[in-house]
Structure 1
Amino acid sequence: MEFNTQISHFLYAFFFFLSFQSVFSDSGTIGINYGRIANDLPSPPEVVQLLKVQGVTKVKLFDTDSDVLTAFSASGISLTVALPNEQLSSAASDQSFTDTWIQSNILPYHPNTIIEAIAVGNEVFADPQNTTQFLVPAMKNIYASLLKYNVASSIKISSPVALSALQTSYPSSSGSFKSDLIEPVIKPMLSLLQQTGSYLMVNAYPFFAYTANTDTISLDYALFRDNSGNIDSNNGHVYKSLLEAQIDAVFAAMGAIGFNDIKVVISETGWPSMGDENEVGASQANAAAYNGNLVRRVLTGGGTPLRPDEPLNVYLFALFNENEKTGPTSERNYGLFYPNEQKVYDIPLAAAGLGNMMNGSKSQVVAQPPAGGDASVGQTWCVANEEAGEEKLQEALDYACGEGGADCHPIQPGATCYNPNTIGAHASYAFNSYYQKNARGSGTCDFGGAAYVVTQPPRFGSCNFPTSRN
């Protein structure tokens, strides 16, 4: 073990700080989907305060609830609101309907409540009610109504599209839309977005692709962790994350039908903290890794290999665990927060939170207990992520025991925690010492993906891992 690393880590931190300062001018944005299919959520005014404390400035809703829109008045938070699928037929058939809808759902609130976009429908192509035919006419009528009431210049229109709209997504450069959608709906929709200066909303979930293809997709690739990457054989682009590959498949699909200048907003993406037995990868640690690494990726700037100069703009799914959602267990466990406003796990949601990266931690990942638990449930420990590989573990171990100030004497030869003499056991002890000495603070258990938080005391031989109360 090498302890004399202070100088090298100081230089690393210094140069990282310089790069950190320079990239944020080209960074993307992080927003959150605020769903309310639950019977135990905080009131809308309480939610607004929670979002402001977290530094969130963009929120996507799934309706135009009056109490919610009123709560966001003068908050400084920009909203994307929605016209639901069940209203598409009415919106498509008669502009008087969309006139009334705008008068009732937009004009009484905007601009005191900042409404920056309207999502017309949601994943319409996958809607079992077969509402696809109504989508573009409804979008056109909504836009005409926005023009009529002089708010079209400040409110965009779009429609969230699921990746199932793609016929081909691999390799990314071969991305294409389903042939039966292109002429009747994709081209007219993209043309309208182009004419109105809007963007395509895309719902992309690497979780689904990973769980269906664990034999061919690595977890590191899905979670934005270090990996060898995938090379697109058509253009040589190297992809280090599945989400970027998915988004480039959408860019390629648009380009294939002549739309190369339309931007994309990732209107939904996330990872569940809990799932059913067959939902491989659904865990608190993986959810924290995916969302934490994604936030860091977005806020430190840059685009995808196909469009490197276009920053990523992302809405995480979702703000809360929603207990009345149907379907598998994962559907009720995408939240960043429990209904009591306690974090499910701790990640930064704004640029200010990334400062912890300079403490040797590249994203904040701290597991939190569910509401109503006893005090013992709230204790957490930090352990090594052996999937990170020995080289990364050794580098992080050197930092923790050196500049990090962890108490590493118990893992020296002959000491109480030397055995088992493995890099994983030694790194776990050092990481936990650092974590506890820093009061289990946000960002003190990650080490660039080399560590994660657990809620059960680690067991390595006869070694006892300290807690903050020791």
Structure 2
Amino acid sequence: MVSYLPCLLFSLLLLSSSSFAAETGKIGINYGRIANNLPTPTQVVQLLKSQSITRAKLYDSDPTVLKAFANSGISLVVALPNENLTAAANSQSYTDTWVETNIVPYHPATAISAIAVGNEVNVDSNNVPHLVPAMSNLYESLKSKKLDDVIKISSPISFNALGSSYPSSSGVFKEELVSTLVQPMLEFLKKTSSYLMVNAYPFFAYSGNSDQIGLDYALFRPNSGVVDSGNGLKYTSLFEAQLDAVFAAMSALKFDDVKVVVTETGWPSQGDENEVGANAANAASYNGNLVKRVLTGGGTPLRPNDPLDVYLFALFNENQKTGPTSERNYGLFYPNQEKVYSISLTGAGAAAVAPAVNEGSKVIVTGQTWCVANEEASKEKLQNGLDWACGAGQADCRPIQPGATCYNPGSLVAHASYAFNSYYQLKARASGTCDFGGVAHVVSQSPKFGACTFPTGY
């Protein structure tokens, strides 16, 4: 996933091979593995099943993962990584071997429904010329195995493939990408009855333009809406406005009949100081409300009859991802399989972390949440945060003094967690009050450190 500005659940997505749309949309989840502390693939399958998730998307075709998903009833999108595009584009025998090695031994026991050829190649100019030839060769390889009707070929593009996206009716692809990438790819997708994969993140648009974009508009919460000056359509969510910008760009090239799947979208539960809006309350609102929106049915203002099909990013927080703090905090689950925050994955009920409410410039969480220390943070940073919370932060740290009720266990993580949470609750769980230099995060389950009970409010 690439961070870019704009101008983009859980039951899981990807269209079945026999149909592009259903009466309601579909939700899927991205299972990324750039981490050294994740559960085994077998455990992941059980987690997905326990959450009623039936669709997942991978970033490779790891045999251990593919075997774990066999007979699970979970549909998979697998991937041919960017580093393999040149070889795939230049050699039919390469793609024949790739399909023979990565698809044939596993399908249909492992229900592979699509192959994502590369990822966000539009931001990787070196691979642009290789993408569609690689897709074509892979398609021919599938065809030789009589799998072309059941496994689709596509490639995720990032939202910044658009040269214009606001208002939505002005959506067009970047001129330099039209003839080299977009036009030939859309022709291929139409010819093979496949669909366009798009990665879209309203978070990036909001974070970079929070002075112009309303938070409620970005989080699917009730708002007055935005009227498109070009076509008069009214939008009440930034997600739908972004998606319609893609549709407008496709329409300008006369590809209105190619379907779209949102293969990545999400909201981080933590971020750096300059990543406005990155917190657990907003992540719960965005993802929870998006699930409800998708499963309610219907499409966007521009394509009202096309249900929304979406893969949420991501299943886990991935601790080895590079870049800003947000990149490591898109997960719905921690590696220990506990939820980062609670939302309904089937669209039923309200989010356990209730939608935040605005109080002036503050965003206050209205659900039951706690602030705890990151166990992987350095001792120095944890100690600094603890000292500040108990000092200038005026947190109630009396219970973690020697002999007091929450002194045991006498670990730095436990004491820092208590102090961080005390400050967080003291500040009414306002946005930005659970950070402490990036060593704390919000959770929706009561922390457990010995017999200590963490307060939920003052």
Matched with 2:268 is 272
User: How far 1:214 moved relative to its partner?
Assistant: 1.1
State the match for 1:315 in structure 2. Answer: 311
Show CA shifts across 1:267-294 (max 9, x none).
0000000011111110011111110111
The reply to whether residue 458 of structure 1 matches residue 457 of structure 2 is: yes
In the other structure, the counterpart of 1:125 is 122
1:378–1:116 CA distance, 2 compared to 1 (3 A): farther
Question: In 2, Cα distance between the equivalents of 1:355 and 1:189?
Answer: 40
Alpha-carbon distance in structure 1 between the residues aligned to 2:235 and 2:320: 37
Amino acid across the alignment from 2:85: L
* Equivalent residue number for residue 433 of structure 1: none
Provide the alpha-carbon RMSD of the alignment.
2.8
Deviation at 1:458, TM superposition (A): 3.4
How do 1:71-220 residues align onto structure 2 when only pairs under 5 Å count?
Answer: 71-127=68-124, 130-220=126-216
Moved over 3 A (4+): 361-381, 383-387, 455-459
Distance 1:86 1:336, change over 3 A: same
Check conservation: 2:128, 2:180, Cα contact below 8 A: no
2:62 alignment partner in structure 1: 65
Checking the alignment, whether the CA contact within 8 Å between 1:344 and 1:369 is kept in structure 2 is: no
Deviations 1:47-79 (A, max 9, x none): 000000001111000000000000000000000
Supply the distance in 2 between the matched residues of 1:56 and 1:378 (Cα, whole angstroms): 32
Aligned to 1:288: 284
Residue 438 of structure 2 corresponds to which residue in structure 1?
Answer: none
Question: What does residue range 392-411 of structure 1 map to in structure 2 within 5 Å?
Answer: none
Contact 2:268 2:278 in 1 (8 A): yes
What amino acid is aligned across from residue 82 of structure 2 in structure 1? Answer: N
The Cα shift of 1:328 comes to 0.5
Change (3 A) 1:183 1:163: same
Deviation at 1:301, TM superposition (A): 1.0
1:332 aligns with 2:316: no
- Secondary structure, in 3 states, of the residue corresponding to 1:26? coil
Runs of 5+ in structure 2 lacking a partner?
A: 1-20, 357-365, 376-412, 432-443, 447-453
**Structure 1: distance between partners of 2:429 and 2:39:** 35
Q: TM-score, normalised by structure 2?
A: 0.75
Structure 1 CA distance for aligned equivalents of residues 223 and 293 of structure 2: 15
State the partner residue of 2:53. Answer: 56
Decide which structure has greater helix share.
Answer: 1
Q: 2:243 maps to what in 1?
A: 247
Q: TM-score, normalised by structure 1?
A: 0.73
Deviation at 1:386, TM superposition (A): 11
The 1:384–1:259 alpha-carbon spacing in structure 2 relative to 1, beyond 3 Å, is farther
Matches within 5 A, 1:290-439: 290-351=286-347, 354-355=348-349, 367=369, 374=414
Q: Matched residues, percent identical?
A: 60
The question of whether the paired residues in 1 share the 8 Å contact of 2:370 and 2:421 is answered with yes
Aligned CA distance change for structure 1 residues 137 and 298 (closer, same or farther; 3 Å): same
The Cα offsets for residues 229-252 of structure 1, whole Å up to 9 and x where unpaired, read as: 110112111100101000000000
Deviation at 1:378, TM superposition (A): 9.1
Matched residue of 1:282: which SS? coil
